[in-house]
DNA sequence: ACTGTATTTAAGCAAATACTTAAATATTAA
DNA sequence: TTAATATTTAAGTATTTGCTTAAATACAGT
């Protein structure tokens, strides 16, 4: 029980010497307002945060479409492993599929192309992106 | 044992009907050349792929510096939890520290500011970034 | 109908994550 | 020196991740 809790009940960790209390409260509210934006951003980055998936997104950005089989060859990993990564990307609506015979072609979801291109903006020889 | 393996020994998964074999080989080599770039990118995105860490990076981008204690208040999580996230960010050289008394201020590592600003380019009211 | 190919799904498992609580460290002030 | 504060570190744990292998599904050609 510390006396300052009487005037600042929302403070519960440390006695701040430097921080501006109002500003802190303001940041809390800002983060609350765009909570869903952050949630989506974190989801995209979590997916891009895996080496195999990052490369898949890169390759799909370069090539129009690729099948799990090709990706398996390029990335040198088993087809089921690739398929499971593709499923996560599709669940997050980052890629879409087109079926022709027994082949399933994966491509970048058009309305997510900007977000995905941004991921590779620091890659050398990367095509420029309209934001 | 399939006959085509004699002329294309590096192919080991599926019989491709559509893909250009040379192009596939080309992508393998390209990915090999920039393997370390992808590794670093994936590392950054994996770190940004956590909601708490993404917010920490955002807040540090807005404010010049913040201590674990303030972040704990803003994010409404325990101090050790925040501290462990900050450690990961520091291990990856995304943030740095400055000590004053018993307070440790965290701030964005200057040479990583561009990479980090890029993470939030789709956030509304985000300041523009020089790439 | 049978075989082969492309893909997904399921089950199992080792490793990584992200928290928790408790203890250790460092600094400041009484 | 003692007490309080800020922070980190350690240990424990539940959950998630990312692969593996095997099985299931779907389609095409013979």
DSSP letter string, A1-36: --GGGGT-TT--S---SS--HHHHHHHHHHHHHTHH
**Chain B partners within 8 Å of A19 (Cβ):** 66-67, 69-70
Q: How confident is the model at residue B2 (pLDDT cuts 50, 70, 90)?
A: very low
CA distance B80 to chain A (A): 11
Burial class (CB in 10 A: 0-12, 13-18, 19+), A90: middle
Position B39 scores a pLDDT of: 97
Contact (CB<8Å) A28/B74: yes
Residue pair B54/B48 in contact by the 8 Å Cβ criterion: yes
Nearest CB partner across the interface for B122, out of A28, A73, A115: A115
**Chain B partners within 8 Å of A70 (Cβ):** 16, 19, 24
Tens-digit pLDDT profile for residues B9-55 = 334 556 665 567 788 888 889 898 899 999 999 999 999 999 999 99
Contact (CB<8Å) A18/B45: no
What SS3 class is residue A98?
Answer: strand
Question: What are the residue ranges spanned by the domains of chain B?
Answer: 37-119
**Which of these, B50, B42, B36, lies nearest to A49 by C-alpha position?**
B42
| Residue A97 CB lies within 7 Å of the nucleic strand C | yes
CA-nearest residue to A59 within chain B is B27
Residue pair A82/A52 in contact by the 8 Å Cβ criterion: yes
Position A17 scores a pLDDT of: 52
Number of neighbours of residue A17 by Cβ within 10 angstroms:
11
Length in residues, chain B? 131
Q: How confident is the model at residue B4 (pLDDT cuts 50, 70, 90)?
A: very low
Position B130 scores a pLDDT of: 53
Asked whether the predicted pLDDT for residue B59 surpasses 60, the reply is: yes
**Domain spanning B37-119, CATH class:** mainly alpha
Protein residue closest via CA to C1' of D6: B102
- How far, in Å, is the CA of B67 from the C1' of nucleotide D5? 13
Q: How confident is the model at residue A7 (pLDDT cuts 50, 70, 90)?
A: very low
CA distance A38 to chain B (A): 7
Protein residue closest via CA to C1' of C25: B102
Protein residue closest via CA to C1' of C6: A102
Position B129 scores a pLDDT of: 54
Tens-digit pLDDT profile for residues A43-93 = 999 999 999 999 999 999 998 899 999 999 999 999 999 999 999 999 999
Listed as ranges, the nucleotides of chain D within 7 A of a protein C-beta are 5-10, 17-23, 26-28
Nearest CB partner across the interface for B70, out of A10, A12, A24: A24
Burial class (CB in 10 A: 0-12, 13-18, 19+), A126: middle
Tens-digit pLDDT profile for residues B100-112 = 999 999 999 999 9
Nearest CB partner across the interface for B17, out of A41, A55, A103: A103
- How far, in Å, is the CA of B111 from the C1' of nucleotide C19? 31
């Amino acid at each position: 029980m510390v006396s300052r809790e009487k005037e600042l009940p929302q403070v519960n960790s440390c006695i701040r010497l430097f921080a501006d209390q109002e500003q802190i409260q303001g940041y809390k509210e800002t983060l609350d307002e765009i909570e869903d934006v952050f949630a989506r951003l974190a989801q995209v980055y979590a997916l891009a945060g895996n080496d195999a998936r990052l490369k898949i997104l890169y390759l799909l950005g370069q090539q129009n479409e690729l099948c799990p089989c090709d990706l398996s060859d390029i990335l040198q990993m088993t087809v089921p492993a690739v398929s499971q990564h593709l499923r996560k990307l599709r669940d997050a609506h980052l890629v879409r599929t087109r079926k022709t015979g027994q082949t399933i072609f994966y491509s970048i979801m058009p309305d997510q192309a900007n977000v995905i291109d941004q991921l590779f903006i620091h890659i050398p020889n990367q095509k420029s992106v309209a934001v």
